[in-house]
Structure 1
Amino acid sequence: MTRTTGSSGVELPPDTRGPHSHRLGVIAVIATFGGLLFGYDTGVINGALEPLKADLGLTSFTEGFVVSILIFGAAIGALVGGRLSDKYGRRHNILVLALVFMVGTLGCVLAPSWEILAVFRFVLGLAVGGASATVPVYLSEIAPVERRGSLVTRNEVMIVSGQFAAFVVNAIIFNIWGQHDIVWRFMLLVAVLPAIVLFVGMLRMPESPRWLLSQGREDEALAVLKQVRSPERAEAEMAEVRALADEEKLSQTGGAADLSVRWIRRLIFIGVGLGVFQQFTGINSVMYYGTQLLGDAGFSSSAAILANILNGLFSVLGITVGLFLMNRVDRRTMLLGGFALTTTFHILVGLSALLLPDGTAKAYFILVFVVLFVFSMQGTIGPLVWLMLAEIFPLKIRSFAIGVCVFALWIANAVVALAFPPVVNALGIAPTFFIFAALGILALIFVKTQVPETRGQSLEKLEERFRKEYA
C-alpha cells in the first residue's frame, strides 16, 4: 500500500480501512448538509419568483433586489465566518450556521412584505457564505491527505444537489398547490429540514483536530484523530501537525500581520483569482437565469422551464465525474482542461446565437452547448476551486484567507448575477457569451502562470513549500 510523505520528510503510515473510515464518512455526510442548504437556498428563489411577485407585489427592481441580496449577504458571511471559525472552531461555527439557516428560512416563509423578506434573505446569505467558508476547511482538516480531494468535493456535490433538489421540489409543490398565492412559502419552508439535520448531526461530530492543536488542546486533537484514523496513523499525523504548530509559534505571521508577509499575500492573490475566475465562467448566470436564457434562445415559456431542469441534472452529473477524477488527475491539469472546455462552449453558444436563423434548431443548439458548459464547469472548475482554497493556506490563517477569497468569489457572483440580464438585453446572447469566452482565456493564462500544484501533498508540506517558493 502506498505511503504518504509528511512535511518532515518521514513517510506516514497508509490510510488503512477500518471503523474509523466509517466514522469519517458519517462526519462528511453531516457536515456537507451545509452545502445542501447552500445549494437549496440559492436555487429555490428561481422557481418561487412568479408566485412571490404576485403575492407581495414585486416590481422588477424589488424582484432583483430580493434575489441578489442573498449573494451580498453571502459575501459578508464568508468574510466574517472565516474569522469566527478561527476564533471559536469549525464545528462551533457550523452549529451556529445551522441555527442561522433556520432563523433565515422561517423569517422568509413568514415575511409579510418584500422588505421583511429581503432582510431574512440577507440573513440566509450570511449563513450561505459562512458555510461556503467553513465546511471545506472542516473537511480538509479532518480528512487524510489521500482522501482530502474526494471528501472536500462532496460539499460541492451537495451544493449542486441542493440546487437540483430546489428545481424538483419547486415543480412538485407548484403542481400540487400552484393555485395558491402563498405556494412560494411552502417552497422555502422545505429548507428547514436539512438545517435541523445539520444542527442535530453536528452536535455529535468532533472538532477539527488541526484547530484543536492550534489552540494547545493536544489531547483532544489526538482523540479526534484516533476517531478517524488508525492508531499508528493518528500518532504520526499528530507529530507532523505539532512540529508545524511549534514553528508557527515562532513566526511573525498571524492576525493583521499576515498581509505584510509576501508569500501569504501571493497565496491570497492566487486564491482570490481562482474564486473570481470561477464565477466569471458565468455558471451562476445559467443557474439563476437559465429559464430566461433558453426563452431568449427560442424556446416557449413552458419548454424553457422544462429544459432548464437539464442544467440542474447535468450539474449533478458533472460534479459526480469531477469527484471520480479528483484524486486521479493533477489539479492544474483539471483546471486548465476545465477552462479550455468552458471557453470553447462559450464560443459555440455565441456562434450559435449569432449565425443560426431563429427557430427550433437554434434553440436546441444553444441548449446543448449550455448544458455541456454546465457539465464541464461542474466537473472541473467548480469543485476544484473550493478544494484548492482549502489546500493552499497555512493553518494559522486558513479560515481568514479562505474568507477573503470566498468574499471576492461572492462579489464576483453578485456582479455576474446583477449584470447578466441587462447585458443580454442590451447586447444579445452572442456578445454576452463572447465576453465570458474572453474572461476564460484570461483565466487560462492565470492558471498556467500563477497556480501551484497541490495534489497528493499534506497541508503541512504544502505550507513548507509555499514558504520557500514565495518568500
Structure 2
Amino acid sequence: MTLLEFKEDRPTPKAVYNWRVYTCAAVASFAACMIGYDSAFIGTTLALPSFTKEFDFASKSPSALALLQANIVSVYQAGAFFGSLFAYATSYFLGRRKSLFIFVTVFILGAGIMLAASGERGLAPIIAGRVLAGIGVGGASNMVPIYISELSPPAIRGRLVGIYELGWQIGGLVGFWINYGVNTTLPPNRSQWLIPFGVQLIPAGLLLIGAVWIKESPRWLFANGKREEALKVLCWLRNLEPSDIYIIEEVRAIDEDLERYTKSVGKGFWKPFLALKQPKVQWRFFLGGMLFLFQNGSGINAINYYSPTVFRSIGITGTNTGFLTTGIFGVVKTVLTVVWLLYLVDLVGRRRMLFIGATGGSLCMWFIGAYIKIAGPGSKQSDGKLTPGGIAAVFFFYLWTAFYTPSWNGTPWVVNSEMFDHNTRSLGQASAAANNWFWNFIISRFTPQMFLKMEYGVYFFFASLMIISIVFVWFCVPETKSIPLEAMDRLFAIKPTHRANEILMRDLQLEDEEFRRNASVERSSAEDEKEKLDTLQKTVSV
C-alpha cells in the first residue's frame, strides 16, 4: 500500500474520496483547534510576569500557589466532563450539527467572561469563564469525532478523524507559542496576558460560521426518519448518484444496522441506557474509558498544562527559555501529528501504533526520572546552562513526544469514534469524552502537588502506566482499521483479539463478492425478461 492507496472493505469509486468529505471534517475540527489552544495556553499564561504580578502570586506560599493554579486549570476539565454528558441529550434531539452550534456558543460566552478579570475584580471571571468554556469544549469533544466518523468512507475514516487531532495540535501549537511572543514583544502590562485569553475567540468564531455550512450526519438523518434528506446528503458527500451500486450498498448496510438495533435495543432517548445491561456493550464502554485513562496516564496533560513546571524539574530556568522549550514541544507534536494523519493511522493501524508509542514513551520517562533522581537539577541553583545529563534529558523528552504523538495522542479518539453501534454511539462517545475529561481533571488538579511531593517519582509513575497499557491493548483492543461501522459488533465478537481484523476483512470481502454476483445475476435476469417482452410485443405488433 502507498500513501494514496487504501485498504477497502469493498470496491470503492475514487469519487468517494472527494473535497466535500475532507472539508466537512476540517470545518468541524475547528472545535479541536479551540480545545487544543485552551489546553496549551493556560500553563504558560499563568507563568507570564504580567499575570503573576497583577494577581499577586508572589505573596502566596508554594503550596497555596500550587492549589490556586490547579483550580484555575482544573475547573475547565470539570466543565468539560459535564459538557460531554450534556452532548448526548443535544445530539439525540437536535443532531450533530446543531449540537456543535450550541456548544461553540457556550464556549464563546465563557471566553468573553474571562476577559473581564483584573487585579481589582480578582480571578473569579477567569474561573467562571473556564467552567463555561469547559462545557463548550466537552460537548464539542463528544460531537466532532462522532460526526466525522459517521460521514467517513471506511478506508479513510482514521485519516478524517485524525484531522480532528491535527486541529487539536495546531491549536496547541499556537497556545504554546503565543505567550513566548507576547513576553518578548510586549511590556508586562494587562494587555500582555489579555491577548492569549482573547485569541480563544478566533477558532470558536470560525467554527460558529462553519457550522452554518456543514451538512448533518446522514446516519443521524436515516435514524430519525429523514430518508430523503439523508440520501441527498449521502450522495453529496460521496459525489455519486443515488443509483450507484456503492450508494445502494451503503444505504442497505445502514438500514440493516438500524433494523437490527431497533429490534435488540429499541428506539428512544433512554433505550441505549438499557443496552448497558448487555455484556458486549459494557465491555466497549470499559475499553473506551481505559484508553483515555492510559492516554492521560502517559503524562501528556501534565506537560500541556504545567509545561514550565515540567521543564523546571529537568533544569530549564528562565521564563523565555521555558516558553521557547515549550514552543518547540508544540512544533514536534504538530509535525508528528501530520505524519500520523497522512500515513500511520490508516496504513500502520491503531493497535501497532499504541504498542510502539507505549514502549518507546515508557523508556524515555524512565530515563528522565532517573536523571532527576541522580542529578536533582530542579533543586539546585542554575546559571541557565544545562549539563550534558540535562541535555540528554531534554533529548529524551522530545523523543518521548515523538513516540507519544503518533500513537496515544489521537488514536483513542479514533477508536472510540468507531467501535460503538448506531444506537449506543452517542452515549458511548459521551462516556469516552467524559472519561477523557475526568482523567484530564485528575491529572490537572493534582500535578502541581505531585511535583512538590514526588519529584522524580512523577516520571516513574507515568512510565509504569505506559507499560501496563501495552498488556491491555494486546489482550483487549482489536484493530478497527478499515472495518465498516456497521460491522463493529462482529469485530469485537471475534477471538483471538489480535487476529480479529484480519478474519473479518476476509469475510467482508467474500460477502461483497457474493452480493455483487447476485446483483449481476438479478440484473441479467431482468435484462433477459425485458428482451423477451420486447420480442413478444414486436410479434404481436406484426
Asked if Structure 1 and Structure 2 have the same fold, meaning a TM-score greater than 0.5 normalized by the shorter chain, the answer is: yes
* In 1: Cα distance, 2:26 partner to 2:173 partner: 18
Q: Structure 2 residue aligned with 1:313, among 324, 331, 336?
A: 331
The answer to whether residue 25 in structure 2 is matched with residue 28 in structure 1 is yes
The answer to whether residue 48 in structure 2 is matched with residue 48 in structure 1 is no
* In 1: Cα distance, 2:187 partner to 2:110 partner: 24
Q: Residue by residue, what CA displacement relative to the aligned partner does 1:99-118 show, whole Å, maximum 9, x if unpaired?
A: 11211111111234312221
Call closer, same or farther: CA 1:15–1:75 in 2, change over 3 Å. farther
The answer to whether residue 165 in structure 2 is matched with residue 156 in structure 1 is yes
Is residue 6–residue 156 contact of structure 2 (8 Å, CA) maintained in 1? no
Corresponding residue of 1:349: 368
Q: Structure 1 residue aligned with 2:260, among 230, 240, 247?
A: 247
Corresponding residue of 1:122: 131
Shift of 1:3: 8.1
* In 1: Cα distance, 2:116 partner to 2:448 partner: 29
* In 2: Cα distance, 1:453 partner to 1:364 partner: 38
The answer to whether residue 311 in structure 2 is matched with residue 298 in structure 1 is no
* In 2: Cα distance, 1:22 partner to 1:437 partner: 41
Structure 1, 167-176 or 124-133: larger mean CA deviation: 167-176
* In 1: Cα distance, 2:6 partner to 2:357 partner: 29
Secondary structure of 1:116 counterpart: helix
* In 2: Cα distance, 1:334 partner to 1:30 partner: 27
* In 1: Cα distance, 2:112 partner to 2:27 partner: 22
Is residue 35–residue 156 contact of structure 1 (8 Å, CA) maintained in 2? yes
Is residue 368–residue 396 contact of structure 2 (8 Å, CA) maintained in 1? yes
The answer to whether residue 431 in structure 2 is matched with residue 434 in structure 1 is no
Structure 1, 342-351 or 278-287: larger mean CA deviation: 342-351
Shift of 1:171: 2.4
* In 2: Cα distance, 1:64 partner to 1:80 partner: 24
Shift of 1:180: 1.4
Shift of 1:54: 2.6
The answer to whether residue 272 in structure 2 is matched with residue 272 in structure 1 is no
Q: Structure 1 residue aligned with 2:278, among 243, 250, 261?
A: 261
* In 1: Cα distance, 2:350 partner to 2:30 partner: 25
Corresponding residue of 1:329: 348
Corresponding residue of 1:101: 107
The answer to whether residue 4 in structure 2 is matched with residue 16 in structure 1 is no
> In the alignment, residue 32 of structure 1 is paired with which amino acid?
S
Call closer, same or farther: CA 1:397–1:83 in 2, change over 3 Å. farther
Is residue 179–residue 323 contact of structure 2 (8 Å, CA) maintained in 1? no
The answer to whether residue 480 in structure 2 is matched with residue 454 in structure 1 is yes
Corresponding residue of 1:8: none
* In 1: Cα distance, 2:410 partner to 2:479 partner: 15
Shift of 1:387: 0.1
The answer to whether residue 226 in structure 2 is matched with residue 227 in structure 1 is no
Shift of 1:2: 7.2
Shift of 1:273: 0.7
* In 1: Cα distance, 2:215 partner to 2:487 partner: 24
The answer to whether residue 398 in structure 2 is matched with residue 371 in structure 1 is yes
Is residue 3–residue 14 contact of structure 1 (8 Å, CA) maintained in 2? no
Secondary structure of 1:328 counterpart: helix
Q: Would you say how many aligned residue pairs link Structure 1 and Structure 2? A: 462
Shift of 1:128: 1.3
Q: Residue by residue, what CA displacement relative to the aligned partner does 1:251-271 show, whole Å, maximum 9, x if unpaired?
A: 136332021111000110111
Q: Residue by residue, what CA displacement relative to the aligned partner does 1:72-97 show, whole Å, maximum 9, x if unpaired?
A: 11111112223322331111111112
* In 2: Cα distance, 1:142 partner to 1:82 partner: 18
% same residue = 25
Corresponding residue of 1:338: 357
Shift of 1:186: 1.7
Call closer, same or farther: CA 1:165–1:445 in 2, change over 3 Å. same
Alignment of 1:280-291 (within 5 A): 280-291=297-308
Shift of 1:131: 1.4
Query: What 5-or-longer segments of structure 1 have no aligned partner?
Result: 6-10
* In 2: Cα distance, 1:290 partner to 1:69 partner: 18
TM-score (normalised: structure 2): 0.81
Q: Structure 2 residue aligned with 1:199, among 193, 208, 222?
A: 208
> RMSD value over aligned CA atoms?
2.0
Q: Structure 2 residue aligned with 1:389, among 396, 412, 416?
A: 416
Runs of 4 or more above 6 Å deviation:
none
Q: Structure 1 residue aligned with 2:69, among 38, 63, 66?
A: 63
Corresponding residue of 2:529: none
Q: Residue by residue, what CA displacement relative to the aligned partner does 1:282-312 show, whole Å, maximum 9, x if unpaired?
A: 1111112222221222222142222121211
TM-score (normalised: structure 1): 0.93
